[in-house]
Amino acid sequence: YPHMSVADNMGFALKIAGVNKTDIRAKVEEAAKMLDLTDYLDRKPKALSGGQRQRVAMGRAIVREPQVFL
């Protein structure tokens, strides 16, 4: 989602699922820390490198706590 910040990108699916904002923020921050994206949470995807964009995509999956991650 190019018009959203990294944090909003990572938390978007949770927002759609009706998760409260406090839980979304906690999960996004945890995933960002895991993926070394903490410094980039306020940036838009176009301001990131290709590798950082890939990590954002992984973060979108991680915050949903999937049973399997391929």
pLDDT in tens, 9-21: 999 999 999 999 9
> 57 and 50 in contact (C-beta within 8 Å)?
no
Query: In angstroms, rounded to a whole number, what is the distance separating the alpha carbons of residues 37 and 31?
Result: 8
Residue 60 corresponds to which tokens in the numbers above? 């979108």
32 lies in a domain?
yes
Quick one: pLDDT at residue 15?
97
In a domain, 52, yes or no: yes
Query: Which residue type, as a one-letter code, is found at position 23?
Result: D
Q: How many domains, the chain?
A: 1
Q: Residue 45: its pLDDT value, please?
A: 92
45 domain residue, yes or no: yes
State which residues form the domain around 40: 6-62
Cα separation, 52 vs 40, whole angstroms: 9
**Is pLDDT of 42 > 90?**
yes
Residue 69 maps to a domain: no
The burial of 13, by beta-carbon neighbours within 10 Å (0-12 exposed, 13-18 middle, 19 or more buried), is given as middle
Q: What pTM, to 2 d.p., does this model score?
A: 0.89
